[in-house]
Amino acid sequence: LRIMAWVDAMTPYCGEEEIREIPDPEFQGVDWLAIRPRIKTAVKVVRPGPVDDAAESDDED
């Protein structure tokens, strides 16, 4: 979830594809963290998109 907030903040400058090309951080003590920081291997969150008005009008007929 935190990566998605960072992606939201960075997408005016980089797209999701460019951000996900950044390798996962490796630094001293990374194995001690409860949650390992991930960028390239981060979970992709499905977000609801805009409602399609054409699909709604088909249901009314």
User: Tokens 């390992």 correspond to what residue?
Assistant: 36
In the predicted model, is pLDDT for residue 57 greater than 60? no
* Collapsed DSSP state (helix, strand, coil) of residue 1: coil
| Bigger pLDDT: 32 vs 6 | 32
> What is the per-residue pLDDT across 7-46, written as a single tens digit (0 to 9) for each?
666 666 677 788 788 899 899 998 898 988 888 888 888 8
What pLDDT does residue 15 have? 73
3's CB contacts (< 8 A; 6+ apart) are: 38, 39, 42
CA distances from 13 to 1, 24, 57, 60 (A): 20, 20, 37, 41
What confidence tier does 59 reach under pLDDT thresholds 50, 70, 90? low
Residue 31 carries which DSSP code? G
Are 40 and 21 in contact by the 8 Å Cβ rule? The answer is yes
State residue 35's pLDDT score: 87
